[in-house]
Amino acid sequence: MKISDLEKQLGYSSLWEGYGDGEIADGYTSDLLSDVMGNAPDESVLITIQAHKNTVAVASLAGINAIVLCNNRPAPEEMIEAAKEEGVAVFRSSDSQFTTSWKIHDILAG
């Protein structure tokens, strides 16, 4: 799936425009950033409630192309700026982490 499918197919709100529309091959759900660094697959989307710039730094290191903040979690401006600098797309969803993970899995599974 493409990053833009998070908006187009799932209706998630992009928190900044101009992200690259790269591929998402997998997903990873976690709020523990050390877990994300050690276990998230490349070209994945991170599903989390951790809304801060460190989440973007970990995503960038782990090869994560997009972050979905669940439960309508607001993102501070420093997170958005870090995401722009690193080229990591950030979205907001009103869904829980469970529901977001399920929906993304459903699209990835075809």
- pLDDT tens, 74-96? 999 999 999 999 999 999 999 99
In this predicted model, what pLDDT tens digit does every residue of 1-41 receive, in sequence order?
Answer: 999 999 999 999 999 999 999 999 999 999 999 999 999 99
Domains within the chain, CATH numbers bracketed: 5-109 (3.40.1390.20)
Half-sphere exposure of 6 toward its Cβ, with a 13 Å CA cutoff?
34
Q: In what order do the strands lie in the sheet with 64-69?
A: 13-14, 89-92, 64-69, 44-48, 26-29
pTM of the entire structure? 0.97
State which amino acid sits at residue 96.
S
Q: What is the pLDDT of residue 73?
A: 97
Nearest CA-CA partner of 97 in 29, 22, 18: 29
